[in-house]
Chain A
Amino acid sequence: MSDMSAARQIEPWQTAEIPGPKKALIISNPQIVSALIKRSRKPLLVVGHRAAEIKISEGLLVDYIIHLAEAANLPVASAPSIQSEFIKRGFAKVASMPLVDVANRLTDPSWMGLDGGGQYDLALFIGFKYYVSWLILSGLKHFSPTLKTVSLDMYYQPHASWSFPNISQDEWEKNLKVIVESLKVK
């Protein structure tokens, strides 16, 4: 991504995807994410198929996601097409579930979660096409009032409760690392 003005960093990445009036708070400091996770009663990490396509300095995005999930003991709901990427990396705390099914269940207050242990209060999203998570997060914003959502992709997602602004890949990777590091601090 080219350098962006501060104003353009908090516009929707796809120009016409205008949201509002309620828009995501900006993750200005990645430690906000670790704080949200630590404070959460029951968080869930939702992973899209692009996690196995997006390259980062330490491999693929899915490699980072495993670090994150392990650091925070997060359960993962993964796009079915990349579940095997988790399994072959030895990460077993992953459930295969299509995105629309996860999102649909998150709007149901009676859903007891992947483990049957109760409702989620925080859902973090990473590894999605921009317009896909834009729409899914919109559904959750409107129809899952008690759920907080966080977009961890490198573009501003206005329908999340919290989102990174539009940032460069370098900056994004740095932020992702800070999240994991700060989660390790008790």
Chain B
Amino acid sequence: MSSERNVRIKIGELKSDIGFLKNLEVSIGKVIGEEWAEEAGPTQFPSIVDLREWDFKLLQRYKPFYMPFCDVCCLCTFGKCDLTGDKRGACGLNMAGQQSRIVLLACCIGAATHASHARHLVEHLIEKFGRGHPVDVGGLNVEVEAPITRLVCGVKPKTLGDLEDALNYVEREIVRLLSATHTGQEENNLDFESKVFHVGMIDHVAMEIADIAQISALGFPKADPEAPLAEIGLGVVDSSKPVILVIGHNVPPAAEIVNYLMENGLYGGVEVTGLCCTAHDVTRYNPKAKIIGPISWQLRFIRSGVADVIVVDEQCIRADTLIEAQKIKAPVIATSDVNCLGMPNRTKDEVDKIVEDMVSGKESGALILDPSKAAEVAVKTALLVAPKRMKFKALPDINDIIEGARKCRKCDDCRRACPNDLPIREALAQALNGRLDALASLYDECIGCARCESACPINLPLHSFIVKAAERRLKEEKYRIRVGRGAIQDVEIRNVGSPIVLGEIPGVVAFVGCANYPRGGAEVAEMAVEFAKRRYIVVSSGCAAMSIAMYKDEEGKSPYEVFPGAFDAGGIVNVGSCVSNSHIAGAAIKIASIFARRRLRGNYEEIADYILNRVGAVGVAWGAMSQKAAAIASGFWRLGVPVVVGPHGLKYRRMLLGRKDRSEDWYVYDARTGEKVYVGPAPEHLFYAAETKEEAMVMIAKLCMRPNDTTKGRAIKLSHYIDLHKRFFGAVPDDVHLFVRTLADVPLTMRDEVVKILEEKGWKENIIPDPTLLPRLVRRKAGE
């Protein structure tokens, strides 16, 4: 590969105490030389400003709409500063600047988390498998193994060691970007937003590095459409066995637990279960491991007392895990230096001594930074603790609930603390009569945060009341999920590239992100199933991928059992954990590269322009919660992929909204002639929050339209948009005329009603250009 920086030392003569050296040449860690014939594009390892013009093109069309979450700034000792309206703080920053600055800060946190995760994985895997271990995410089926890294960095990693070049770049950029959030640095909100896009792009590189490293070294499914099915749900755990629960995102400790069990003939005797993305990745490592569920299941599962030992790594782990584990007498093993839980560092201690301390109760847990030692301790402790704990749980019995209902002060503080405004007090009141239905009915919409408990002035364990009331349903939570397959094969891209770009596959819809749902996870599954039935390509990852699994049709099958795992029309494709989101972006990039043969290497702007104008892809983060989700979304925005979030997503503080009523915003160049051509608001928004699932579904169908759609493709996309709009909103959309370029765009079965609207709106026919926002891609200038 061509590396970013080759360290090369040449010494003519060196005399020292140890001897005399002559003509010594050392090359450190790199293969020097060029092995990639593709001509490099203009932006290899781009700096913050290299893609600023592209960002500004997007931001000109999709302007930020800010919704401040806080009216003041309290980041420096000048403050607090009131930024209300047109006020400026002591540093001179105004509210728009402050909001975009906070968005940048959040995205830097998210990208740093993925980068740190990637760095840990790469170093760990290099130590275990060697720097020269080959990058292989799909054998002969995947030649473009790292599309984001190729696109952004202009390098083609072949080994684990090669990944470090890109990682060095990622870390350097994050530091630069984070520094821009310091008091007295950037002042312009659009420049902050451009940096948000930059850190999003960087985040995608980090995610890709992390996932291709673990796929290559740990034997995860390699772009396998028929990756095995694993079990998921609270009811799938065999609680008669010792149970180890892994929580987090960084899989080495969990993988080592599987190794230790296998090597010692213990595998069938101990249950390995997981929450969050570590669960995804441990099932990619061994599909017999079991997934409990998304992040919202942490408290309810821990309190159920089923886990005998809890192993945490990093990211999205509740910060009261140790307290909750102590309630059920389960030891906790922390395995990451970014999440030490205040516990003693026992990394260098003898395994049996650590186990003895935890089993005896002398220590509630240990920090062990060596994954294989942590695994051995976890297994040995689980085997010894399980018979002592007897699945001791921290859930109340029914009498406790009735007593709690009697004591309730009816202050409503629980409801006022609940993110979803659930009527907890009213439901508890019904328990006075022994009726738990109302409490149980809250279970599906409860996100498991337990803020209700923190708010209760008499410390009622309200979350546990809800879980106990729904206990029967918990036991019935038994579903199947296709384990994360990783990358999309090149041949799959070749097969679908044309129908996607021409619009005949109506779109690629990716359900990603966290589980902060407004009305429960079933909504995500319902959306995924609807779009798969409509022959969109549905992709999933992270908590959203789990929520899709936790849903059954009339025959009792989960969506992954009903729909194929191929990247094709009508598939539901679980790519894997959070870092596997890189394969979704990678698929869009590969369409431009493999199908359209656009140059990839360091050619970001052209590829993003291609995707924005041609690839009908939409991300849906219905329960997005974290800073990582913010960073992931911003990487998609820069790439020209719109993202729809649920109502809690408004708390990200700003949307990126197009204005379909401003026709001047929707012109592109026709690359054939250089003429500027009106193409309608396609896609209308870049970042959009929907109030309801129905609103989201209609918007998703709309956002899949692209200027390059053929008439046949546009007719297909319009038919879905109109059909969903009629089904949910009761009428043909009143903006349909904006998406009809010629009469051939109008779906045949809807012709009469659409043409009537076209006539009412004074619609005029337009041409379908070869669309681009980049003048340099125009092949012949207007007038030539």
Contacts and interface: CB of A to CB of B under 8 A. Distances in A.
A62 B689 CA distance: 23
Interface string A69-99: 0000000000111011001100000001011
Contact of B698 (A1, A80, A84, A99): A80
Interface residues of A, number: 44
A81 B518 CA distance: 16
Contacts of A98: 688, 690-691, 695, 699
Contacts of A131: 419, 647-648, 650-651
18 contacts: A2-B410, A15-B417, A16-B417, A21-B84, A48-B691, A81-B691, A81-B692, A83-B729, A87-B730, A98-B691, A100-B65, A128-B691, A129-B518, A132-B647, A132-B691, A135-B69, A138-B71, A139-B67
Contacts of B63: 104
Nearest to A79: B691
A14 interface: yes
A145 B657 CA distance: 20
A48 B691 CA distance: 8
Interface in B698-735: 698-699, 725, 728-731, 734
Nearest to B725: A80
B181 to A, nearest CB: 20
B659 interface: yes
A4 B518 CA distance: 26
Nearest to B648: A131
Contact of B734 (A14, A96, A103, A136): A96
Given A2-B425, A48-B691, A135 B650 contact: yes
Greatest chain A CB density within 10 A among B69, B72, B83, B729 is at B729
B85 interface: yes
Contact of B421 (A14, A96, A103, A105): A14
Interface string A6-43: 00000001111001111000000000000000000000
A80 B731 CA distance: 10
B389 to A, nearest CB: 36
A145 to B, nearest CB: 6
Contacts of A20: 71-72
Given A2-B425, A84-B729, A139 B66 contact: yes
Nearest to A103: B65
B65 A13 contact: no
A80 B729 contact: yes
Interface in A135-175: 135-136, 138-139, 141-143, 145
A64 interface: no
Contact of A80 (B86, B648, B695): B695
B112 to A, nearest CB: 26
Given A98-B690, A135-B651, A15 B413 contact: yes
B224 to A, nearest CB: 39
A175 B361 CA distance: 60
Interface in A93-115: 96, 98-101, 103-105, 107-108, 111
A72 to B, nearest CB: 24
B655 interface: yes
A94 to B, nearest CB: 11
Interface of B: 63, 65-69, 71-72, 82-86, 95-96, 410-413, 416-417, 419, 421, 425, 455, 518, 647-648, 650-651, 653, 655, 657, 659, 661, 688-692, 694-695, 698-699, 725, 728-731, 734
B411 A2 contact: yes
Given A20-B71, A130-B421, A135-B67, A14 B416 contact: yes
B647 A81 contact: no
B740 to A, nearest CB: 19
B413 A105 contact: no
Given A98-B695, A132-B691, A141 B85 contact: yes
B82 A83 contact: no
Nearest to A4: B412
Given A21-B71, A131-B647, A132-B647, A81 B729 contact: yes
A128 B518 CA distance: 13
Contacts of B699: 98
B691 A138 contact: no
Given A103-B65, A128-B691, 16 more contacts: A2-B425, A49-B691, A79-B695, A81-B691, A84-B729, A87-B730, A96-B731, A100-B657, A100-B688, A101-B657, A108-B659, A111-B661, A132-B650, A141-B85, A143-B65, A145-B86
A142 B66 contact: yes
A1 B421 CA distance: 12
A98 B65 CA distance: 14
Contacts of B69: 135, 138
Contacts of A139: 65-68
Given A19-B71, A141-B84, A83 B689 contact: no
A145 B85 contact: yes
Contact of B416 (A15, A100, A136): A15
A143 B67 CA distance: 9
B417 A138 contact: no
A20 B81 CA distance: 11
A13 B67 CA distance: 18
Which 8 A-B residue pairs are closest in the complex by CB-CB distance? Answer: A84-B730, A139-B67, A135-B67, A104-B65, A135-B650, A2-B410, A15-B416, A104-B657
Contacts of A132: 647, 650, 691
A108 B66 CA distance: 13
A142 B85 contact: yes
Given A14-B416, A130-B421, A136 B695 contact: no
A136 B729 contact: no
Contacts of A128: 691
Contacts of A99: 691
Nearest to A16: B417
A100 to B, nearest CB: 5
Contacts of A108: 659
Nearest to B411: A2
A22 B357 CA distance: 55
A20 B734 CA distance: 39
A100 B725 CA distance: 18
A96 B657 contact: no
Given A15-B416, A49-B695, A142 B68 contact: yes
Greatest chain A CB density within 10 A among B67, B84, B86, B694 is at B67
A96 B421 CA distance: 26
A22 B82 CA distance: 9
A19 B729 CA distance: 35
B85 A81 contact: no
B245 to A, nearest CB: 30
A79 B694 CA distance: 11
Contacts of B692: 49, 79, 81
A87 B729 CA distance: 10
B412 A107 contact: no
A15 B457 CA distance: 13
A150 to B, nearest CB: 18
A22 B694 CA distance: 35
Contact of B730 (A19, A83, A107): A83
A95 to B, nearest CB: 8
Contacts of B655: 100, 104
Contacts of B421: 14, 129-130
B691 A129 contact: yes
A167 B256 CA distance: 56
B30 to A, nearest CB: 48
B68 A138 contact: yes
Contacts of B659: 104-105, 108
B585 to A, nearest CB: 24
A104 B64 CA distance: 9
B731 A84 contact: yes
Nearest to B82: A21
A13 B518 CA distance: 17
